[in-house]
Amino acid sequence: MKKYTRLLLFLAFISCIGNAAAKGVYQTQADFLSEVFAGDVAKPALIWLTGDVRKAATEILQHKPSRLRVRYWARGARSAWVLEEIGKERPITVGIVINEGRIERLRVLVFRESRGDEVRHDFFTRQFQQTTLKPNLQLSNSIDGISGATLSVRALRKLARLALYLDQQRQSQP
């Protein structure tokens, strides 16, 4: 009986370690913005999620946005967005750089889920580079999924679409 108890405790311990390993802060928002703007971070601005913008954001996210406004940083045709979306149960924080209507960079800043953190690796995030938003609010490039990380992949696709859409709205403001 002791042998089985030890084995069960060991397996439970290993399971906890595996779940904890997926979680992490990979880059702070401040460090991301400093890197994007070469140490001279643009002043933050806001875009309000009201009216048609809110409707489009709801369509993209497949739920109502949790906030009424979104902060972004921009200089010229280049903008940086730090957005969050739920993977399975917890938010994933992602930094996205848009340059002239195309994704220049997408980086997972904070991953809080117990699994699916493969989306943080370059082999996955590079797929988003040069992607634009089609008129039907879909991405111009196909993004390959990752087995076992379906909900995390879906969350990043949504955030990429949302950042591209919000950047279009930013560019169209007077």
Q: What is the per-residue pLDDT across 81-98, written as a single tens digit (0 to 9) for each?
A: 999 999 999 999 999 999
User: What contacts 52, CB < 8 A, 6 or more positions away?
Assistant: none
pLDDT at 18 over 70: no
Q: What is the spatial distance between Cα 117 and Cα 22, in angstroms, rounded to a whole number?
A: 6
3-state secondary structure of 85: strand
Q: What is the pTM of this model?
A: 0.86
**Residue among 45, 46, 42, 67 at smallest CA distance from 57:** 67
- Per-residue pLDDT at 148: 86
Q: Please say whether the beta carbons of 84 and 144 come within 8 A.
A: no
Angstrom distances, CA of residue 19 to CA of 22, 109, 120, 122, 172 = 6, 18, 16, 21, 43
Place of tokens 């992949």: 153
What percent of the chain shows pLDDT beyond 70? 87
Residue 2 pLDDT: 60
Please tell me the predicted confidence (pLDDT) of residue 165.
Answer: 98
Q: What is the pLDDT of residue 6?
A: 55
Q: What one-letter code names the amino acid at 58?
A: T
Predicted confidence (pLDDT) at residue 160 exceeds the cutoff of 90:
yes
Asked whether the predicted pLDDT for residue 1 surpasses 90, the reply is no
When comparing pLDDT for 11 and 1, which is higher? 1
Phi, psi angles (nearest 5°) of residue 28: -75, 160
